[in-house]
Structure 1
Amino acid sequence: MKKFLLGTVALIAFAAPAAAADLAARPYTKAPPAPIAVVYDWSGFYIGANGGWGTSRKCWDFVDPAGAFVAAEGCHDADGGTVGGQIGYRWQAGTWVFGLEGQGNWADFQGSNASLFFPGVRNESRIDAFGLFTGQIGYAANNVLFYIKGGAAVTADRFRAFDIPTGIVVATTGDDTRWGASVGAGIEFGFAPNWSVGVEYNHLFMQDRTHTFVDPTGAFVGDDRISQDVDIVTARINYRFGGPVIAKY
């Protein structure tokens, strides 16, 4: 029995190296390729649409023909909706994005107050349209863009005075175009290679301006110096002509 066990052990010891030698060599496997990341590029021309809400603070002061203050007529807010479009161009340098944009909107910002100086008269203000011509500076976190903007603004205004009991127009300026300045900020999210959505705020500094009022026959009624600032919040969607940059890590 001892002899049998010793022989078996010897046979196993002899066979083990031979079996190991017969095993196939371990195949070589190539390392997986480095990952490829899509880097969103904001460069290129774009066109889009926007819509939202705006409000304008107006204060009326009655003045003499020389422009000297006579009496305050009161203030009101002109509020309402707006819809329009924008077109622009952006170029990206690293994480910084620079751009130029033109925007035009129809608006319906209306408001009124009873005159504090002319009893029985209600003063009404209205903005029918506005435009912005601005430059942009932004910071891109891949497909999210944070930016500030500033430039010129223009509004199409209308000012009228009504007789409160009858609602008849007693004085008007007709249509008026007023130029000023604009500053704003926004955030935009690229949800597809060429599409982005965002939210934007703009403040318009339209300064004070003296307007001449006439009655329905065209006869001179008086002058009012009217101040105007405008605040606008809009949601935007843009289509950009171009595609993403493919970069390898």
Structure 2
Amino acid sequence: MKKSLLLVTASLVAISAAAPAMAADLAARPYTKAPAMVATIYDWSGFYIGINGGGGSSHATWDLTGLGREGSHDATGGTVGGQIGYRWQSGQWVFGVEGQGNWADFSGSNTSALTGNSNRTKIDSFGLITGQVGYAWNNVLVYVKGGAAVLGTKYDIHTPGGAFVASSDDTRWGGTVGVGLEYGFAPNWSVGVEYNHIFVGGHDQNLTNGGVFVQTDHVKQDVDMGLVRLNYKFGGPIIAKY
């Protein structure tokens, strides 16, 4: 009996001695910090190239020199083209330059109040050279733009029966202003919508038939158009930790 009590007592002493050591081992385990979270910040900087398409309307007013107002009309239709540019970002501000060229089919006509003939205007091409200033909320960009514009336009006169009277082709420079909204849906891709106004002012247009002068009209002309754009940007997003 005494021998059994001695064995139990020795076991309890051994367990008591081992407990602090085990606690010390548990406390010594190193603390592992949770991995830092990361957020993708869209970077608008870099060269880009893209395509666009949409529609527009050109308001044209014809004044027959020396006689007075012939009338006005809206030349409407569609357009497709492309753009290339470069942007650089500073904080949330985005600055850029862009060149754009489009094929167009904006056409319309009216009956002259003076001659009874049909005066027709058709814009078949245009180009824009612009600067941009924008503000970005990560992958959403709002911007304004402005610069120079060039229009390729054809002017025609026909009799009420459709017979050709005179025509003229012209390349006319003017200005443009616009505003756009763009969304980066992938590291290198963005889609957007844009509105542009082109104004070329008034100018004298000499219309001829077979090289023979027929008449001069003072034509006032401007263009309003809306475009959908798809761009590919060279480069990618930056990664920021927080």
TM (norm. structure 1) is 0.86
- The separation in 2 between residues aligned to 1:97 and 1:227, in whole angstroms, is 35
Higher mean C-alpha deviation, range 156-165 or range 127-136: 156-165
- The separation in 2 between residues aligned to 1:56 and 1:220, in whole angstroms, is 26
Alignment of 1:31-42 (within 5 A): 31-42=33-44
* Runs ≥4 residues deviating over 6 A: none
- The separation in 2 between residues aligned to 1:152 and 1:59, in whole angstroms, is 22
- The separation in 1 between residues aligned to 2:187 and 2:39, in whole angstroms, is 13
- Structure 2 unaligned blocks of 5 or more: 1-11
Give secondary structure in 2 for the equivalent of 1:242.
coil
Question: Is residue 156 of structure 1 aligned with residue 149 of structure 2?
Answer: no
Aligned-residue identity in percent:
56
Residue equivalent to 2:176: 182
TM (norm. structure 2) is 0.89
Alignment of 1:142-221 (within 5 A): 142-165=138-161, 167-173=162-168, 175-215=169-209, 217-221=210-214
C-alpha deviations, 1:44-93, integer Å up to 9, x for none? 000000000010000000113xxxxx211001000000000000000001
C-alpha deviations, 1:190-237, integer Å up to 9, x for none? 01110000000000011001101112x322111100000100100000
- The separation in 2 between residues aligned to 1:20 and 1:124, in whole angstroms, is 101
RMSD (CA atoms): 1.9
Residue equivalent to 2:46: 44
Residue equivalent to 1:7: none
Residue equivalent to 1:107: 104
Which residue identity lines up with residue 54 of structure 1 in the other structure? G
Please report how far the alpha carbon of residue 34 of structure 1 lies from its aligned counterpart in structure 2 after TM superposition.
2.0
Please report how far the alpha carbon of residue 28 of structure 1 lies from its aligned counterpart in structure 2 after TM superposition.
4.9
Which residue identity lines up with residue 170 of structure 1 in the other structure? V
- The separation in 1 between residues aligned to 2:61 and 2:207, in whole angstroms, is 16
Question: Is residue 96 of structure 1 aligned with residue 93 of structure 2?
Answer: yes
Residue equivalent to 2:220: 227
Q: How many residues align?
A: 227
Please report how far the alpha carbon of residue 171 of structure 1 lies from its aligned counterpart in structure 2 after TM superposition.
1.1
Give secondary structure in 2 for the equivalent of 1:32.
coil
- The separation in 2 between residues aligned to 1:115 and 1:20, in whole angstroms, is 108
